[in-house]
């Protein structure tokens, strides 16, 4: 996974075995650690090694001396194992498994007494490859944009004291990295004094370590240090938000000092961490052999791209740091949004299990009636959520829930559980009469960094290549289409909320067809009825022969994506097919105000809100719509996941629903006239 190696068996060294002997129960208990080692080619063993074998120890933990002694006695190699720098949502002592490991056969990254593999990379590797440095810059942008850190159980919106201020970073007492740097409690006292002396009159914030906040391990600072302009920050706050208001940062050897560098600071360092000595820090105790000068991108290329062994739990495979970022973004978002729990109202019985799976990572979801839900939410300090179409049953503002845009393999009206849902705290995407969270995300997307746009481009490429749309139905081939300028007119469910709220002049499928024909008398008009309407589950069917009087082709039960590919443009009121056509490079004309209209990417013949002033490009729009706004759920692991995992599952057909819902869906078809009871 790395373009170079500093390992002992590299180059001309004799080959070593891949047997890895362990003498700590943690290697046997921690399934994730064993799996990563196995995927990296190591065979974890018990017993005594030969000279060609290796012994694994956990960093410089209290149990490491056992393995060190065996390795020295048997002449075996020694590999020190540590958590990677982006670890998990919760700290390890709270039960979360790591997203990767550091496997070092020279030393350990936090101990300067012996150059580690990482230090050798930083000192001697070229670190000048253009693509790698571009990746490193994209990684920095994503860390800051998504507020991803080593641990991620914090609220990016948590309040902070007003800027400017100075940050002093605490660490856990007697942490191995502190001891390896030769630091003592007096070092931390000295650091706090210097922070005050060098920044007279400024507030000094001591950032407590997450494991100290959780009560696992004590730190070096306590309430007795919070005097005068010094205060403790014990709340779970984003390191990136904290750094934004800082004018100076002080640390001994914390990983947060590394993040300070990426945030644009030059921290004053009182220890000897891996990131000190390369021209990016002010070092109180320099490491003389570290003389090279590096950029932020270069140190990230080594520390986050080349050095770690990253693991993807969704695919059970080794991966790259970009995959880890996507996974942590999804997992952290779920924890941050769900930790308080929910009281849900307006949810049909069949939706309750999927909702509990989607939003149950915190205190879970409880269901209530409309007249008691708000009181229950307030009493239990939970969020109040409502299915968007039932929001008018509540007198209290609530989070609105709706299906996402890559929803499932099967119709929602046929009770297929969703793979994506949206959670909107401002409105809902299909209602243009008021703002929504999606609108806010689209407006902000004009400032997306290039790496985020590149990710959106990759997602679009996968959707187009695999023919993925909202429902991913098995459809018949499209009919033969006449030559000429072809226009696709997708039919809609006429009582759908997007029609009721997002259209004014043209509000029915017949009127849409008439308007498209009047404006394009010589075009080949292709009408595609909505799948829910064709299935008899929703309203919107045109009388027999009516569509044929206007359209040249009525493409019943045809593949919508194939039709988009075969036409030149799409005319719609508010159909999602307009967005699906946009990302496939087609011209789109809107007679209503769908979420993708009004941003300068469509021809808008109907009313659109004046507040849609931003002019994002297509990739920025797609990032907001497909990556930022929806939540995704992996049916294989049962966890929140990024969109890329859902695309994997759809392509592999790993989205099956249970037999109970299949039977219920068949009954629904029989009693379609009573559909309002389960919608």
Domain ranges of the chain: 19-124, 442-666
CATH architecture of residue range(s) 442-666: 3-Layer(aba) Sandwich (3.40)
Whether the predicted pLDDT of 263 surpasses 60:
yes
Backbone angles phi, psi at 499, to 5 degrees: -75, -45
Residue 413 pLDDT level (bands cut at 50, 70, 90): low
- Whole-prediction pTM: 0.92
The count of other CB atoms within 10 Å of the CB of residue 108 is 25
Q: What is the pLDDT of residues 28-87, one digit of tens each?
A: 999 999 999 999 999 999 999 999 999 999 999 999 999 999 999 999 999 999 999 999
Higher pLDDT, 141 or 661: 141
Residue 566 pLDDT level (bands cut at 50, 70, 90): very high
With a pLDDT cut of 90, the percent of the chain lying above it is 85
The residue behind tokens 């997602």 is 459
Q: What is the pLDDT of residues 334-345, one digit of tens each?
A: 999 999 999 999
pLDDT of amino acid 675: 41
Cis peptide before 537 (omega within 30 of 0): no
Task: Identify the three-state secondary structure at position 433.
Answer: coil
For 474-502, b/e burial (b = at least 16 CB within 10 A) is: ebeebeebeeeebbbbbbbbbebbbbebb
With a pLDDT cut of 70, the percent of the chain lying above it is 94
Residue 436 pLDDT level (bands cut at 50, 70, 90): very high
Residue 540 pLDDT level (bands cut at 50, 70, 90): confident
Q: What is the pLDDT of residues 268-278, one digit of tens each?
A: 999 999 999 99
Q: What is the pLDDT of residues 289-302, one digit of tens each?
A: 999 999 999 999 99
The count of other CB atoms within 10 Å of the CB of residue 66 is 14
Residue 131 pLDDT level (bands cut at 50, 70, 90): very high
Q: Which two tokens stand for residue 153?
A: 């159980």
| Mean pLDDT along residues 112-134 | 97
Q: What is the pLDDT of residues 570-607, one digit of tens each?
A: 999 999 999 999 999 999 999 999 999 999 999 999 99
Instruction: For residues 144 and 140, give the distance between their C-alpha atoms in angstroms, rounded to a whole number.
Output: 6
pLDDT of amino acid 656: 60
Fold match between domain 19-124 and domain 442-666: yes
Q: What is the pLDDT of residues 191-236, one digit of tens each?
A: 999 999 999 999 999 999 988 888 889 999 999 999 999 999 999 9
pLDDT of amino acid 555: 93
Task: Identify the three-state secondary structure at position 570.
Answer: strand
* Residue pair 151/90 in contact by the 8 Å Cβ criterion: yes
CATH architecture of residue range(s) 19-124: 3-Layer(aba) Sandwich (3.40)
pLDDT of amino acid 92: 83
Whether the predicted pLDDT of 374 surpasses 80:
yes
Instruction: For residues 179 and 99, give the distance between their C-alpha atoms in angstroms, rounded to a whole number.
Output: 26
pLDDT of amino acid 261: 98
CB-side exposure of 264: number of CA atoms within 13 Å? 10
Ramachandran assignment for 653, one of left (phi > 0), alpha (psi -120 to 50 degrees), beta (any other): left
Three-state SS sequence of 618-644:
HHHHHHHHHHHCEEEEECCCCEEECHH
Residue 2 pLDDT level (bands cut at 50, 70, 90): very low
Whether the predicted pLDDT of 308 surpasses 80:
yes
* Residue pair 33/26 in contact by the 8 Å Cβ criterion: yes
Whether the predicted pLDDT of 107 surpasses 90:
yes
Whether the predicted pLDDT of 677 surpasses 60:
no
Q: Which two tokens stand for residue 526?
A: 């292709």
Higher pLDDT, 675 or 553: 553
Backbone angles phi, psi at 536, to 5 degrees: 75, 20
Whether the predicted pLDDT of 679 surpasses 60:
no
Out of 82-91, 464-473, 666-675, least confident range: 666-675
Out of 376-390, 411-425, 652-666, least confident range: 652-666
Residues 6+ apart with CB under 8 A from 90: 96, 151, 153, 335
| Mean pLDDT of the chain, nearest integer | 92
pLDDT of amino acid 414: 65
The residue behind tokens 């009825």 is 529
Instruction: For residues 189 and 161, give the distance between their C-alpha atoms in angstroms, rounded to a whole number.
Output: 23
């Amino acid at each position: 996974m790395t373009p170079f190696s500093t390992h002992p068996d590299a180059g001309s060294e004799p080959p070593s075995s891949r047997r890895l002997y362990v003498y700590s129960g943690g290697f046997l208990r921690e399934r994730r650690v064993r799996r990563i080692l196995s995927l990296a080619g190591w065979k974890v063993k018990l017993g005594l090694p030969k000279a060609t074998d290796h012994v694994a120890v956990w960093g410089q933990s209290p149990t490491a001396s056992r393995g060190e002694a065996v390795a020295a006695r048997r002449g075996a190699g020694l590999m020190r194992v540590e958590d990677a720098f982006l670890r998990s949502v919760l700290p390890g002592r709270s039960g979360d498994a790591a997203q990767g490991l550091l496997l070092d056969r020279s030393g350990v990254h936090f101990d300067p007494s012996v150059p580690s593999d990482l230090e050798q990379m930083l000192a001697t590797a070229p670190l000048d490859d253009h693509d790698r440095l571009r990746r490193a810059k994209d990684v920095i942008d994503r860390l800051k944009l998504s507020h991803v850190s080593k641990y991620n159980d914090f609220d990016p919106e948590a309040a902070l004291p007003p800027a400017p201020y100075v940050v002093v970073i605490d660490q856990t007492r007697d942490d191995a990295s502190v001891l390896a740097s030769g630091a003592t409690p007096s070092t931390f006292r000295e650091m706090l004094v210097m922070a005050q002396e060098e920044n007279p009159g400024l507030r000094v914030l001591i950032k407590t370590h997450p494991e100290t906040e959780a009560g696992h391990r004590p730190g070096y600072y306590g309430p007795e240090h919070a005097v005068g302009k010094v205060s403790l920050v014990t709340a779970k706050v984003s390191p990136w938000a904290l750094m934004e208001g800082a004018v100076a940062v002080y640390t001994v050897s914390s990983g947060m000092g590394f993040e300070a560098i990426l945030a644009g600071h030059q921290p004053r360092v009182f220890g000897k961490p891996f990131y000190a000595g390369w021209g990016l820090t002010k070092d109180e105790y320099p490491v003389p052999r570290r003389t090279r000068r590096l950029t932020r991108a270069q140190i990230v290329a080594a520390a986050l791209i080349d050095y770690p062994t990253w693991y993807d739990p969704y695919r059970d495979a080794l991966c790259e740091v970009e995959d880890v970022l996507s996974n942590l973004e999804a997992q952290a978002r779920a924890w941050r949004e769900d930790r308080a729990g929910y009281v849900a109202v307006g949810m049909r019985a069949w939706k309750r299990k999927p909702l509990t799976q989607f939003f149950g990572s915190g205190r879970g979801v409880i269901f209530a009636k409309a007249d008691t839900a708000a009181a229950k939410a307030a009493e239990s300090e939970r969020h109040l959520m409502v299915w968007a179409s039932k929001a008018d049953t509540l007198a209290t503002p609530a989070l609105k829930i709706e299906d996402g845009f890559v929803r499932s393999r099967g119709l929602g009206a046929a009770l297929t559980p969703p793979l994506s849902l949206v959670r909107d705290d401002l409105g809902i995407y299909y209602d243009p009469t008021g703002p929504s969270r999606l609108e806010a995300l689209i407006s902000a997307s004009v400032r997306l960094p290039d790496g985020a746009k590149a990710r959106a481009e990759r997602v679009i490429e996968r959707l187009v290549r695999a023919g993925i749309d909202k429902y991913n139905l098995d459809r018949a081939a499209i009919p033969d289409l006449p030559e000429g300028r072809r226009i696709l007119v997708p039919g809609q469910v006429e009582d759908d909320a997007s029609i009721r709220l997002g259209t004014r002049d043209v509000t029915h499928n017949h009127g849409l067809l008439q308007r498209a024909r009047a404006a394009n008398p010589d075009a080949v008009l292709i009408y595609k009825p909505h799948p829910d309407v064709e299935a008899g589950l929703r309203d919107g069917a045109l009388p027999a022969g009516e569509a044929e009087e206007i359209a040249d082709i009525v493409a019943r039960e045809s593949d919508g994506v194939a039709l988009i590919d075969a036409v030149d443009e799409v005319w719609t009121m508010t159909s999602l097919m307009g967005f699906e056509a946009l990302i496939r490079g087609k011209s789109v004309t809107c007679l209503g105000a769908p979420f993708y209209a009004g941003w300068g990417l469509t021809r808008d013949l109907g009313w659109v809100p004046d507040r849609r002033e931003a002019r994002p490009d297509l990739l920025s729009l797609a990032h907001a719509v497909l990556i930022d706004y929806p939540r995704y759920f992996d049916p294989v692991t049962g966890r929140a996941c990024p969109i890329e995992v859902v695309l994997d599952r759809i392509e592999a057909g790993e989205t099956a629903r249970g037999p109970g819902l299949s039977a219920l869906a068949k009954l629904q078809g029989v009693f379609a006239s009573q559909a309002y009871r389960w919608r």
